[in-house]
Amino acid sequence: MQSETLTRRRMMTGAAALTGMAGLAVAPMPAIALTSSEARSLVDRLVREINAVIASGKSEAAMIRDFESIFARYADVPIMARYALGIDSRRASPAQLRAFTEAFQDYISTKYGRRFREFIGGEIRVDGARQINSGYEIRSTAYLRGEAPFEVTFLVSDRSGRDLFFNMFIEGVNLLLTERTEIGAMLDRRGGDLDRMIADLRTLG
């Protein structure tokens, strides 16, 4: 069946696709104009806004709207969306890529907005920065009531012409790799139909 063929195709090409897309983040690039202090300043502002929403006492729906606004301002959404779509981004039309990027932004903001809502009563504190091939890794720690502190890491780059984060790790879980796997599974369940997957992704945002 077509879906089985697509699943087998993903299994065979998955490693190559990951290597190729990961190359966007680690391939040799022109000298980084972004500085450590600028990358840290971006995440300081991002974390300050996240902490303000966590402490706001708003409803879940209102908090998620705020998180979506934060995500749109601070995240390199087009890069993240292309990575999440993976090898299938090569066959998507420009219109499909735009539609997927919009749906992905809503979906990811809702999903991780709910995760950050779990931080109510706590806060995130930025700890330090280190340069990586694609920009900077900014490490922070989440302090929650009744739980052991855990690490939240942001990867920051200026390759899109603005200082933005393009990946995030919560307790060591890689946001982009997680979403790439889930988006791929959604596509497989829909026989590789991009339009159906995008329509269904919108309902999750």
Residue 85 lies in a domain: yes
CA distance readout (Å), 162 to 3, 27, 79, 146, 158: 39, 19, 12, 38, 5
Confidence of residue 21 (pLDDT cuts 50, 70, 90): very low
Q: Please determine, for residue 7, whether its predicted confidence score (pLDDT) is greater than 50.
A: no
200's tokens: 């269904």
- Counting every residue written for the chain, the total comes to 205
CATH code for position 136: 3.10.450.710
Residue 109 lies in a domain: yes
Residue 50 lies in a domain: yes
Distance CA 167, CA 77 (A): 10
Matching residue, tokens 């945002």? 205
Q: What is the pLDDT of residue 9?
A: 39
Determine the structural domain holding residue 71 and report its residue range: 2-25+36-204
Residue 31 lies in a domain: no
Residue 30 lies in a domain: no
Q: Please determine, for residue 61, whether its predicted confidence score (pLDDT) is greater than 80.
A: yes
For residue 30, give the DSSP letter.
Answer: S
Contact between residue 100 and residue 198 where contact means Cβ atoms under 8 Å apart: yes
Residue 92 lies in a domain: yes
91 vs 118: which has the higher pLDDT: 91
Residue 178 lies in a domain: yes
